[in-house]
Amino acid sequence: MLSSKYSNVLTMLLVVFIVAIVGLIGYFGYDLLNSKKVQSDAQTTLDEFERAIQREGAEEDDDENIGNVTNPLDQLQQNTPVEETETEPEKVYMEGYEVKGRIQIPKTQVDYPILETVTKKTLEMAVGIAYTTAENSDYPLNEPGNTVIYGHNFRNGLFFSNNKRLSNGDKVLITDVNNRTVTYIIYNIYQTNATDASFFTRDTEGRREISLQTCTDDSKARIIIWAAEESAVQQ
């Protein structure tokens, strides 16, 4: 009788153990599949963004070449003022949100689209612009001023999960909609509380700078990283 009770207890413990193992496998399996989907969607968007900025550059080259062709009619119209029009860059979207650029951090193998804003949805897909002091707030990347880029720390390698591994001197590359890639050098890393936004409006003295923001692993604080354009750091 006693042996039977022990047998039942062992059976129950075994069932609980198996259920727990299956649950863990299911959880980590889902997390892995979701991570792969996020990476795949991000790469698809980056490919589309790359094609768009390449097309934009090709069209500008064509316009310059056309302008260099000598035409007798052009000689007659030399003194006629030509109104210059500024064209909007070709827009690329990710789930309805405009892609403003691309961020690459070689040390942590980060390579994601930078979306126009920060929302729960955007932070599940990529990273987003939280704030900017750039004069051109519609297209602030690689413009003078401080642009804050926020990304989640999911502790699974996605987005800014490995920002804690970054150090002063590491590089961050930002590509904007005009196909300009600027290298930024990290020069300040610190932690602050979740409500601190004082660094949003910091004075960059006319330099192009970025601030990267993410959570600590326990979500109780924020890791803030300041980086300035390479040419300014080397001066």
Closest CA to 97 of 117, 111, 112: 117
- The rounded distance, in Å, linking the Cα atoms of 216 and 167 is 15
Each of the 235 residues of the chain gets a pLDDT tens digit; together they read 546 666 666 666 666 556 545 444 444 444 556 899 999 999 999 999 999 999 876 666 555 554 555 554 454 455 555 454 456 789 999 999 999 999 999 999 999 999 999 999 999 999 999 999 999 999 999 999 999 999 999 878 999 999 999 999 999 999 999 999 999 999 999 999 999 999 999 999 999 999 999 999 999 999 999 999 998 776 5
Residues 6+ apart with CB under 8 A from 207: 144, 228, 229, 232
The C-alpha atoms of residue 87 and residue 191 are separated, in whole angstroms, by: 41
Q: Decide which of 1.10.3720.10, 3.30.300.20, 2.40.260.10, 3.40.50.970 is the CATH code for 2-65+90-233.
A: 2.40.260.10
Q: Is the distance from CB of 134 to CB of 229 less than 8 angstroms?
A: no
User: Is the CB of residue 186 less than 8 Å from the CB of residue 170?
Assistant: yes
Q: Parse the chain into domains and list their residue ranges.
A: 2-65+90-233
pLDDT score, position 78: 54
Alpha carbon distance 47, 44 (integer Å)? 5
Residue 90: phi and psi, rounded to 5, are -65, 130
DSSP 98-132: EEEEEEEEGGGTEEEEEESS--TTHHHHSEEEEEE
Give me the pLDDT at residue 65, please. Answer: 54
Considering the entire predicted model, what is its pTM?
0.78
